[in-house]
Chain A
Amino acid sequence: MAEPKVTIDLARGLGLTADEYDRIIRQLGREPSYTELGLFSALWSEHCAYKHSKVFLRRLPQSGPHVLQGPGENAGAVDIGEGWAVVFKVESHNHPSFIEPFQGAATGVGGILRDIFTMGARPIALLDSLRFGEPSDPRTRRLIEGVVSGISWYGNCFGCPTVGGEIAFAPEYAGNPLVNVMCVGLVRADRIFRARAEGPGNPVFYVGNKTGRDGIHGATMASATFDEHAEERRPTVQVGDPFTEKLLLEACLEAMATGAVLGIQDMGAAGLACCTSEMPARGGTGMDIELTAVPQREEGMTPYELLLSESQERMLLVGARGREEELRRVFAKWELDAVRIGEVTAGRELVVRHGRDEVARVPIEALAQAPVYDRPFAPPAWLAERHAFEPASVPPPEDHGEALVALMASPTIASKAWAYRQYDQQVGLNTLVLPGSDASVLRIKGTRRAIAVAIDGNGRHVFLDPRRGAAMAVCEAARNVSCAGGRPLGVTDCLNFGSPERPEILWQLAEAVEGIAQACRALDLPVVGGNVSLYNETVRPAESTTSADPSDARAILPTPIVGVVGLLEDAALLATQWFKADEHRVALLGPEDVSLGGSEYLWTRHGRVAGRPAPLDLEVERRVQVAVRSAIGAGLVASAHDCAEGGVAAALAESCVTGPAPLGCAAALDMGARSDHVLFGEGPSRVVVSVPPERAREFEALMAESAIPWRWIGTTGGARLRLRVGTQTVVDVGLDRIEHAWRNGFERHVA
């Protein structure tokens, strides 16, 4: 087959700009070959090169005393003591999941699992953060069913438990759902592997699945906005095989244990092209590879296709010279291909041969150093109008109890058991706290330790105030971990935004990264890895009734998703979110400041996304989290639950009905504002705890020491939730009604 002639139009068709094409010619000193052009188009895509986000990401704190590996490798790693480390990362698979929800989500799980086990870690937990349009829309229901069953299929078959996550709904995601998957792995701290090609003369092995024509240009697809032809791109979505992935896991860990593996990288986005340029780039070397040696499952694949295929369950591995046979033996045991396709060179060049033909010869630096853009950004003109919202302008509910019941049935707040009962949550025998509490907790066998993991994000808050909203996402994920008793050690983030070529979207990104950086610095939390997903837009207008600006209607809500891993030094001292027994005293920790701006209540009841989120004082946030952890660590609290969507009323209701048996509560809240604001207003740094009466004195002393705002608000017991604001009882509802609303609010749309 004749290769297309390389022209600037061909380059444009592959997603490169005219300037980028000129830059390639300058760097090579000649026109690129067709294969070389393919290499550049993939490696210089937004997905691989972070062209538009790099300038901002530099602002994130990335180091700390626990950090064993920061950004730039397959995943980050933190030290958890006693010789152990956890490796973790979150990644998006948004674009493929919209085009083909089942395989898109499944291969998203597969990709992040490989990122973890290439580091030498055994994956012990998965968490998913999902965003969809309103579930009442049949089209959205199909997406939800496809995505959840894809995650279920891949994770379950592979054998890694899905221990947590979150699902939220808003019309802005209807044309562009978000599928962010986080994986956590466990490894001995001195046995972490890295994606480097070192030592000229060392053999380069291709291991795992055979290469086919699936997923060619997936990275480029993920770097463009959807149009009406999006579904025609189904062939760019990869097809997963969790069984082969499981074999690859066992074979890789076994091969690593022999000592014959020097470096290893997952063939993810941009496949072989990415590995053969990134691994030598990190190692300061070059690579020489022969494509005819690549195991192929289709006939007649061109060099271009072989380099850019995103067939799943493959790795590139640099072995120690002279130990090739040991490696082959391990992979043969697991019935996997392990083929030598080339070697590490000293030349700082990637040389690709196909039989007798040299099809590419490119300086490694040229491929690895994509252009970095520092484009203009500006706050959107429509933001002022959203901020002008006056909370008193919405009518108060006639019946606050009914309003609470309705809020608990909002799909975003309601139980997600329908999804997580489709996921294995326990394989590995580590899960001490299953999905359904603020954070999930996994023990570290052979020690007294455990880790707490949570993932969070709130697009509406970020939409209305990107800096504060993103900082709040970090705080909330960390607070969830603290509410389980864990001391947050590290962050991974996935930045889901629209097109960076629009100044207002780039402004959202810039502000959000600044917010994450500020919160991480205040909480002493390094960002050890993550992912940026841009171009989350469609030309199909979202069915939002709230869009003030028609051009904005196309983008998703700006959604940074934050994953946090924390450490419990004593696994026995963990906390869950539900009330445990009658007559426990209930306290609310944290500031009074709440806002209806951007709240779930304002959206579900009044159909508005407006106002501003409540102020965030990072020092108060830090102290509240320390106080909660100290109280849990001293065994003083029976439950701890973060106040998030739905405000303190929803948090109390959740503490009543989300445990094994419902348990009521009577509480009195200060009348700082109108009752609906007090009950349903949202604000950061707030935690509801319950304390056995005999520990109340000690708890009071600890809170006084912690120097945080806090007060007793009530007592557990009975089968109703009673809430007073000031002197008036405004909510008095049977738990059966709250529980029914909460259990069915989401499930009624999908079951």
Chain B
Amino acid sequence: MRFGVVVFPGTWSDCDFHYVVSEVLHQPVKYVWHRDRNLADLDCVILPGGFSYGDYLRAGAVAGRSPVVEALPEFLTGGGLVLGSCNGFQILCEAGLLPGALMRNECLQYRCQSTHLLVENAETSFTRALRPGQVLTMPISHGEGKYHADPETLRMLRQRHQVVFRYATADGQVTRAANPNGSVENIAGIVNEDGTVLGLMPHPERAAESALGGTDGLQIFQSLLGSLVEDGTFLKR
């Protein structure tokens, strides 16, 4: 499976995703410069964490209008998958590829800590290796990760099973105390209607080796590998 890791000016999880894909998963991977529009030789594009363009406007606002992001709809139409983590999730929302928005954390401070995620939808290309109700441990590291959407959007998200991960306690209770940033309904990660774009605030690449404290994040990558069928298309459900 061929991965591309996008590099914007100010991206910093690019090397980490690249490392996990090449050294842990042993899959082909290359960096994609933010001005590139040619994604034809890729199966999955990763938008990593960081502060693209310094995030001096809104987080992800400038990157959401960059050439590589403008090329994503065509890439998706061609059967590709897109994974956005942290700043990548913010960029996907800003680009309109995912609904809703990410706002400043409720505590008004940056948060770097371990979180527990309740798996709500295990029938996407990104979560096939998981089971609903499973609890994953994954770190977050952001200042603007409070997911927000209007009531109508939230209703649609629920109805179409687009909420993939919610912040929860270690035993899977979705509580206010388990919510690290004030996200509405504890939402930590969502997919688009087609299930081809995943955005999440936590960092799966930081939970891919036991030496670094866990391998729960790896299951997202393994889901992706398991979704690729021999003719090069993806299992969607």
Contact = CB atoms under 8 A, between A and B. Distances in A.
A422 B19 contact: no
A604 interface: no
A426 B206 contact: yes
B234 interface: no
A246 B53 CA distance: 10
A159 B12 contact: yes
Closest 4 CB pairs of A and B: A243-B54, A159-B12, A157-B51, A424-B141
Given A246-B12, A334-B9, A426 B54 contact: no
A427 B12 contact: yes
17 contacts: A156-B110, A157-B10, A157-B54, A157-B55, A159-B12, A246-B9, A246-B10, A246-B51, A247-B9, A335-B9, A421-B111, A422-B110, A422-B111, A423-B110, A426-B203, A429-B205, A571-B211
Given A427-B12, A443-B211, A242 B109 contact: no
Grouping DSSP codes into helix (H, G, I), strand (E, B) and loop, the B interface class, with mixed when no group exceeds half, is: mixed
Given A159-B51, A246-B9, 13 more contacts: A156-B112, A157-B55, A241-B54, A247-B9, A334-B9, A421-B112, A425-B141, A428-B16, A429-B15, A429-B19, A429-B212, A443-B211, A572-B211
A149 interface: yes
A152 interface: yes
Nearest to A148: B109
A242 B212 CA distance: 27
A702 to B, nearest CB: 26
Nearest to B11: A159
Given A152-B110, A429-B205, A243 B9 contact: yes
A431 interface: yes
B54 A156 contact: no
B54 A242 contact: yes
Nearest to B139: A426
Given A421-B112, A445-B19, A429 B206 contact: yes
A243 B62 CA distance: 13
Contacts of B110: 149, 152-153, 156, 422-424
Query: Which range holds the interface residue count of chain B?
Result: 20 to 34
Interface of B: 9-10, 12-13, 15-16, 19-20, 23, 49-51, 53-56, 109-113, 139, 141, 143, 203, 205-206, 209, 211-212
Contacts, number: 81
Contacts of B55: 157, 243
A445 B16 CA distance: 11
Nearest to A335: B9
A242 B206 CA distance: 23
B143 A156 contact: yes
Q: Which of B53, B111, B205, B212 has most chain A Cβ within 10 Å?
A: B212
Nearest to A420: B112
Contacts of A432: 211-212
Contacts of A431: 212
Contacts of B209: 429
A428 B112 CA distance: 14
Contact of B10 (A149, A243, A421, A428): A243
Nearest to B12: A159
Contacts of B212: 426, 429, 431-432
A432 to B, nearest CB: 6
Contacts of A335: 9
Nearest to A159: B12
B109 A149 contact: yes
A574 to B, nearest CB: 10
Contacts of B23: 445
B10 A427 contact: no
